[in-house]
């Protein structure tokens, strides 16, 4: 089958890749670009394990045609924690909080959850409540944790991320 040449902006870099025109963004990320952090749990938009961000919004990569993502800013879990302000810590505050709280058991749903959670924190720009976390992450299934430690970790990360602002303004 003839493949299409795609130019995708991923994690701040431009990637050129050939793929069948009907492939989803998830397939191109995983099987052409070896960006394996985004996971396939259902391939039909039910589980949220493939969540990436497009133009800052959480999106299901399994329901997004790769060609439709051209010209837009795609961010995957591999792009989380590499920002200059997090380089000294070695990871994003969410990843650190998940690690401290043991919020990832098998870790398969974790990349998608991190991408949804990062979007929540960025939009709120302040410490979030457990209910806000539960609402924002309701599209991401986790089968291991019972969600408790994930909610705690996201709340904790938001408090740490926005504590500085609080100090400045307070």
Partner 1 sequence: MADHDPTPPAPPAPPAWQLGKSHRKVDAMERMRGITRYTDDLKLPGLLHCKILRSPHPHANILSIDTSKAEALPGVHGVITGKDLSIPYGIIPWTPDETALAVEKVCHVGDGLAAVAAVDEDTALRALAAIEVVYEPLQAYYDPEQALAAEVAINPFNKRGNLSKDVVLEFGDVEQSLADAPLVIEGEYFFEGTTHGAIEPHCAVAKLEPNGLLTVWSATQVSHYLHRELAKVLERPAHTIRVIQPPLGGAFGGKSEPFDLEFCVAKLAMLTGRPVKCLYTREEVFYAHRGRHPMKMRHRTGFTREGKITGVSARTFIDGGAYSSFGLVTTYYSGQLLCSPYVFPAYRFHSTRAYTNKPACGPKRGHGSVQPRFAIEVQLDKAAVALGLDPFELRRRNDMGSNTTTVNGFEVGSNGFLECLDRVESGSQWRERRASLGFGHGLGLAGSTYICGTNYPIYPNDMPQGAVQITLDRSGRARVFSGANDIGQGSNTMLAVIVAEELGLHLDDVRVVSADTDLCPVDLGAYSSRITLMVGNACMQAAQKLRGKVRESVAKRWEIPAARVTLIDRKAMDLEDPARSIALDKAFQWAEADHGLLGEVGSYNTPKDRHGSYRGGTIGASPAYSFTAHVAEVEVDPETGVVDVKHIWVAHDCGRALSKLIVEGQMEGSAYMGFGEAIMERHAVDPRHNGVHCGPSLLDYRMPTFLDTPDIHALIVEAPDPQGPYGAKEAGEGPLHPSIPAIANAIYDAVGVRIDALPFSPPKVLAAIQDRARLEQAGELAPFKSAGLGERRNA
Name the residues that contact partner 1, by CB under 8 A: 1, 20, 30, 34-44, 46-47, 49, 76-78, 80-81, 91, 95, 98-102, 104-111, 114, 133-135, 137-151
Q: Regarding beta strands 51-54 and 4-10, do their DSSP bridges make them parallel or antiparallel, or are they unpaired? A: unpaired
Closest distance to partner 1 from the beta carbon of 140 (Å)? 7
Task: Identify whether the C-beta of residue 137 lies closer than 8 Å to the C-beta of residue 121.
Answer: no
State which residue, 108 or 162, has the beta carbon closest to partner 1: 108
SS3 at position 65: strand
Of 99 and 165, CB closest to partner 1: 99
Provide, rounded to whole angstroms, the least separation between the CB of residue 64 and partner 1. Answer: 18
Q: Among residues 3 and 57, whose Cβ is nearest to partner 1?
A: 3
Rounded Cα–Cα distance for residues 14 and 136 (Å): 29
Q: In angstroms, what is the minimal distance from the CB of 152 to partner 1?
A: 10
Name the token pair of 65: 């045609």
CA–CA gap between residue 7 and residue 69 (Å, rounded)? 9
Q: How far is the CB of 138 from partner 1 (least distance, A)?
A: 5
Q: Quote the strand ranges of the chain, DSSP E.
A: 4-10, 13-19, 51-54, 57-60, 73-75
Give whichever of 94 and 127 is closer to partner 1, judged by the CB atom. 94
């Amino acid at each position: 089958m003839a493949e299409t040449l795609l130019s995708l902006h991923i994690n701040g870099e431009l990637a050129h890749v050939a793929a069948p025109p009907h492939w989803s963004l998830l397939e191109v990320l995983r099987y052409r670009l070896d960006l394996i952090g985004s996971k396939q749990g259902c391939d039909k938009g039910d589980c949220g394990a493939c969540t990436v961000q497009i133009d800052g919004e959480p999106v299901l990569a399994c329901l997004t045609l790769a060609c439709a993502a051209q010209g837009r800013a795609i961010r995957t879990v591999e792009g989380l924690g590499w920002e200059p302000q997090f380089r000294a810590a070695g990871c994003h505050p969410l990843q650190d909080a998940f690690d401290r709280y043991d919020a990832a058991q098998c870790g398969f749903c974790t990349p998608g959850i991190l991408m949804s959670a990062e979007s929540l924190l960025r939009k709120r720009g302040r410490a979030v409540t457990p209910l806000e976390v539960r609402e924002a992450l309701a599209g991401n299934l986790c089968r291991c944790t019972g969600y408790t430690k994930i909610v705690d970790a996201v709340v904790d990360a938001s408090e740490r991320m926005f504590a500085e602002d609080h100090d400045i303004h307070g």
